[in-house]
């Protein structure tokens, strides 16, 4: 039975299960809803890299940190389509486009909408991660044919201020609701290895599990630290 009323103790208890028992539970659920022997391949392309005004503590694309990542302009249509074509030839069926924005301007959304239409014409599913969206922007992306929108919660609401101060947890939830209201699939997960506790990890999963509609994709990423060595 699909639930939307998980408690934190219930989710935390899953973390204490013996590993093979947890694998068995996960496989049982997976087989109930998906082809057990099929794996979807997705490709992510950064279409606008660096210079983001957010201060996400895990991200080298933030303008707040001194890293080797330099700010670039949005890639042109032909370059993105070429990368999408290569991804399809390599076996990908979903192509995700990411831009380092706090939130896109309307003119940015228009440009990305063109990219979405061109990538869709290749027969690929489309996904985008562009930062916070207003309701009309989400509708514009949906109209262009966007299948999935990625906007991760990153961590628990309690730990969130420890890694980001330029937006709130509610800002994230509002964007996810705008995406859902526009009729798009939600891709939403988080990052582990940022100094959070096991309870923080469980609470993030609880938030996702208790959404009125569960995310269609839940990416869980392991932090890879970027260390700058001078001299």
pLDDT for 2-53, tens place per residue?
899 999 999 999 999 999 999 999 999 999 989 999 999 999 999 998 768 7
Q: Is the pLDDT of residue 92 over 80?
A: yes
Helix boundaries (H) for 121-227: 135-144, 169-181, 198-209
Reported pTM: 0.92
% of the chain with per-residue pLDDT over 70 = 94
Q: What is the CATH number of domain 40-222?
A: 3.20.20.70
- Tell me the angle at which helices 135-144 and 169-181 cross, rounded to the nearest 10 degrees: 40
Looking at the predicted structure, is the pLDDT value of residue 100 above 60? Answer: yes
CA distance linking residue 188 with residue 41, whole number of Å: 17
CA-only gyration radius of the chain, Å: 18
DSSP secondary structure of 63-81: TTS--SPPP-PPPPHHHHH
Q: Please say if the pLDDT value at position 227 is more than 90.
A: no
**Two structure tokens written together for 107:** 């003119």
Contact partners, residue 72, CB within 8 Å, separation at least 6: 48, 49, 50, 51
pLDDT value for 231: 47
Distances (CA, A) of 97 to 48, 165, 166, 171, 177: 9, 25, 23, 21, 20
Average pLDDT over residues 111-130: 97
- The token pair that represents 213 in the structure block: 């509609």
SS3 173: helix
Distance between CA 66 and CA 60 in Å, rounded? 8
Q: Cα angle vertex 139, ends 75, 77, to 5°?
A: 15
Average pLDDT over residues 114-143: 97
* Burial grade of 100 (CB within 10 A; 0-12, 13-18, 19 or more): buried
In the predicted structure, residue 82 carries a pLDDT above the cut 60? yes
Section 137-154 average pLDDT = 97
Sequence-ordered list of residues with C-beta below 8 angstroms from that of 48, at least 6 positions apart, any chain: 72, 73, 74, 75, 98, 99, 100, 101
């Amino acid at each position: 039975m699909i639930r939307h009323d998980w408690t934190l103790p219930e989710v935390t208890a899953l973390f204490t299960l013996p590993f093979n028992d947890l694998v068995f539970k996960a496989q049982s659920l997976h087989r109930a809803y998906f082809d057990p022997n099929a794996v979807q391949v997705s490709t992510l392309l950064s279409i606008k890299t660096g210079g983001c005004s957010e201060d996400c503590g895990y991200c080298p694309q933030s303008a707040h940190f001194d890293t080797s990542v330099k700010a670039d302009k949005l890639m042109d249509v032909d370059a993105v389509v070429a990368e999408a074509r290569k991804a399809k030839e390599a076996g990908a069926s979903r192509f995700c486009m990411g831009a380092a924005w706090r939130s896109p301007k309307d003119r940015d959304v228009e440009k990305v909408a063109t990219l979405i239409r061109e990538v869709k014409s290749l027969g690929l599913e489309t996904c985008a991660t562009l930062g916070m969206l207003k309701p009309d922007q989400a509708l514009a992306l949906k109209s262009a044919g966007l299948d999935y929108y990625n906007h991760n919660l990153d961590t628990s609401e309690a730990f969130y201020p420890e890694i980001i101060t330029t937006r709130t947890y509610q800002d994230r939830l509002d964007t996810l609701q705008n995406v859902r209201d526009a009729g798009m699939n939600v891709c939403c997960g988080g990052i582990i290895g940022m100094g959070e506790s096991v309870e923080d990890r469980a609470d993030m999963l609880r938030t996702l599990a208790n959404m009125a509609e569960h995310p269609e994709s839940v990416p869980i990423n392991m932090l890879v630290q970027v260390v700058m060595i001078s001299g």
